[in-house]
């Protein structure tokens, strides 16, 4: 019977989580047992158990209960024959999922601290506001509302605040959870008729952090409960920190009264990263990797290349670097530009800003005030040759075109000519500040 229920829940989860998430996280779970409200799964590794417990635990419990199985808690165990292969503890227990059972929120990522957060122009205000809240003391703005696009550091900053607050005042009751978890807890409390406990629980915290609050848009009863929780905490001078992917006023299907409450404190946004911030983040991550892979060398220009080319979000940037280091260590080679382009061709393609070689040629000829036909044409006088090399360099750096492809677009030149041009500009960039300035200006103009 329970096997059938689990099979049904699996198919619900497949729809809810998407095929990729499903095959990565839910499929590896082997249902083992359900007794006294504890549902046990066998998992291939503790990592999977922990991840599922943190990210999908509440949903699994919710759907199991919806389908009539009384589940209060999940447990994940690595079967004995596999356990010897992993060093982590044998079982991973889900954070107690019922709202009435405890006050634990979602776990905090130990890596998300202020120390590891790189500050640049796009996020300096959000960082300063987060620091202020993390300093504790009297509540000056309530709530702190952080918003910005995907992967720009909202969760990182929230966890950093939580770590800092807990370190300064271990007695503080800091609760961090996603809006989705808030909803699941609320629904569970309703179903189990434990709303009083739920209310008490949420009103007893000193600091409440709710991530991705846009999730409650359109969920009327959750909004209502969130509104009351919010008011009670603000009245009690408790700090609230909220994040969302957009400004309060722009959250779809969110009641006006909630929008206006969310705007009462300090609303700050994390802007999309700029080149300098991306480079700073890459440099700081490389320091971490350097300790992990002491034998790996990274060639000059690789980080700059990645910072140019991957501008979608920090998560993608980090993922690219992780992959690059893993790949280089497998093949035991230095991380060169070529290796980077090989290893990350799909990521680079996906985040291609779609700057074309033609655009580069046009911008460069305008910049140096020469005719496009002269830059592409056969003349070798320096007035044309240098801008041509600059354009070749930018084409290599800013597009995913290969050397022969670039050569073809420069009047059918050979790939070795392009390679020579790229190398020459790389050298001049260091010795000739005029060239370095030109490159920077052109890059910015092309990125716009």
User: Toward ligand ATP, which CB reaches closer, 174 or 337?
Assistant: 174
Q: Which residues bind ligand ATP (CB under 6 A)?
A: 112, 116-118, 123, 148, 150-156, 212, 245, 281, 314-315, 318
Beta-carbon contacts of residue 216 (< 8 Å; ≥ 6 apart): 179, 182, 183, 222, 223, 226, 254
DSSP secondary structure letters along 41-73: EE-S-HHHHHHHHHHTHHHHHHHHHHTT----E
Smallest distance, Å, CB 273 to ligand ATP?
Answer: 8
Q: Does the annotation flag 155 for ligand binding? A: yes
- Annotated binding residue 154: yes
144-148: strand order across its sheet: 174-178, 207-211, 239-244, 144-148, 266-270
Shortest separation between residue 150's beta carbon and ligand ATP, angstroms: 4
- 151 belongs to an annotated ligand binding site: yes
Residue 122: alpha-carbon gap to chain centroid: 16
Q: Kindly state the helix (H) or strand (E) to which residue 177 belongs, with its residue range.
A: strand 174-178
Rounded to an integer, what distance in angstroms lies between the CA atom of residue 54 and that of residue 199? 22
Please identify, using beta-carbon distances, which residue of 19 and 150 lies nearer to ligand ATP. Answer: 150
The DSSP code sequence of 241-253 is: EEEESS-GGG-TT
Nearest residue to ligand ATP by CB is 153
Query: C-beta of 95: minimal distance to ligand ATP in Å?
Result: 19
Closest distance to ligand ATP from the beta carbon of 157 (Å): 7
**Angle at which helices 302-309 and 275-292 pack, to 10 degrees?**
130
For the chain, what is the total number of helices (H) and then of strands (E)?
Answer: 22, 9
CB closer to ligand ATP out of 70 and 150: 150
Contacts of residue 278, Cβ cutoff 8 Å, sequence gap at least 6:
306, 307, 310, 311, 314, 317
Q: Is residue 275 within 8 Å of residue 120, measured between CB atoms? A: no
Q: How far is the CB of 370 from ligand ATP (least distance, A)?
A: 40
Tell me the C-alpha to C-alpha distance, in Å, between residue 36 and each of 73, 94, 284, 292, 438: 9, 15, 48, 44, 70
Instruction: Give the nearer residue to ligand ATP in terms of CB position, either 58 or 438.
Output: 58
Residue placing its CB nearer to ligand ATP in the complex, 118 or 165: 118
Complex with ligand ATP: residue 34 or 157, whichever CB lies closer: 157
| CA-to-CA dists, residue 433 to 28, 307, 426, angstroms | 56, 21, 12
From the list 195, 114, 121, the residue with the least C-alpha distance to 158 is: 114
- 436 strand-pairing partners: none
Q: 35 vs 110, which CB is nearer to ligand ATP?
A: 110
Residue 431 CB, nearest approach to ligand ATP (Å): 32
CB of 215 to ligand ATP, least distance (A): 11
Segment (H or E) for 425:
helix 415-431
Residue 315 or 333 having the CB closest to ligand ATP? 315
CB atoms within 10 A of CB 113: 17
Helix, coil or strand: residue 147: strand
The β-bridge partners of 211 are 178
Nearest-CA neighbor of 73 among 46, 48, 101?
101
Q: What is the DSSP secondary structure assignment for residue 379, as one 8-state letter? A: -
Q: How far is the CB of 146 from ligand ATP (least distance, A)?
A: 8
To ligand ATP, the closest distance from the beta carbon of 271 in angstroms equals: 11
User: Of 60 and 161, which CB lies nearer to ligand ATP in the complex structure?
Assistant: 161
Q: Which is nearer to ligand ATP, 318 or 352 (CB)?
A: 318
CB 119, min distance to ligand ATP, A: 7
**Residues annotated within a binding site:** 151, 153-155
Give the residue ranges of the annotated binding site for ATP.
151, 153-155
């Amino acid at each position: 019977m329970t096997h059938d229920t689990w099979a049904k829940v699996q198919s619900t989860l497949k729809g809810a989580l998407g095929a990729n998430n499903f095959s990565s996280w839910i499929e590896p779970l082997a249902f083992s047992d359900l007794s006294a409200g504890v549902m046990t799964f066998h998992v291939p590794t503790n990592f999977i158990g922990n991840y599922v417990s943190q990210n999908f635990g509440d949903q699994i419990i919710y759907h199991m209960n919806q389908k009539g199985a009384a589940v209060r808690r999940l447990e994940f165990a690595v079967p004995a024959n596999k356990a010897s292969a992993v060093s982590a503890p044998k079982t991973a227990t889900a954070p107690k999922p019922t709202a009435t059972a405890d006050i634990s929120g979602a776990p905090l990522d130990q890596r998300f601290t202020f120390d590891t957060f790189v500050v640049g122009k796009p996020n300096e205000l959000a960082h300063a506001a987060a620091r202020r809240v993390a300093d504790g003391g009297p509540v000056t703005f309530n709530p702190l509302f952080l918003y910005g696009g995907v992967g720009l550091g909202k969760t990182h900053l929230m966890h950093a605040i939580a770590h800092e607050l807990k370190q300064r005042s271990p007695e503080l009751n800091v609760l961090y959870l996603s809006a989705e978890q808030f909803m699941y807890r609320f629904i569970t409390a309703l179903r189990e008729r434990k709303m009083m406990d739920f209310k008490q629980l949420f009103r007893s915290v000193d600091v409440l952090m709710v991530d991705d609050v846009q999730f409650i848009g359109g969920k009327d009863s959750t909004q209502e409960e969130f509104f009351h929780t919010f008011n009670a905490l603000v009245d009690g001078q408790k700090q609230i920190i909220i994040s969302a992917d957009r400004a309060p006023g722009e959250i779809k299907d969110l009641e006006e009264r909630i929008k206006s409450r969310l705007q009462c404190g300090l609303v700050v946004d994390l802007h999309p990263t700029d080149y300098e911030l991306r480079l700073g983040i890459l440099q700081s991550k490389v320091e971490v990797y350097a300790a992990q892979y002491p034998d790996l060398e990274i060639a000059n220009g690789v980080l700059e290349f990645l910072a140019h080319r991957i501008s979608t979000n920090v998560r993608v940037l980090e993922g690219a670097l992780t992959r690059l280091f893993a790949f280089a260590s497998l093949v035991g080679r230095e991380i060169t530009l070529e290796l980077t382009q090989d290893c990350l061709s799909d990521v680079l393609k996906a985040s291609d800003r779609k700057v074309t070689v033609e655009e580069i040629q046009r911008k460069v000829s305008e910049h140096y005030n020469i005719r496009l036909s002269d830059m592409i044409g056969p003349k070798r006088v320096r007035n044309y040759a240098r801008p041509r090399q600059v354009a070749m360099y930018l084409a290599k750096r800013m597009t995913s075109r290969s050397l022969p492809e670039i050569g073809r677009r420069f009047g059918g030149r050979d790939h070795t000519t392009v390679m020579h041009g790229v190398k020459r500009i790389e050298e001049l960039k260091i010795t000739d500040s005029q060239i370095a300035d030109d490159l920077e200006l052109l890059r910015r103009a092309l990125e716009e």
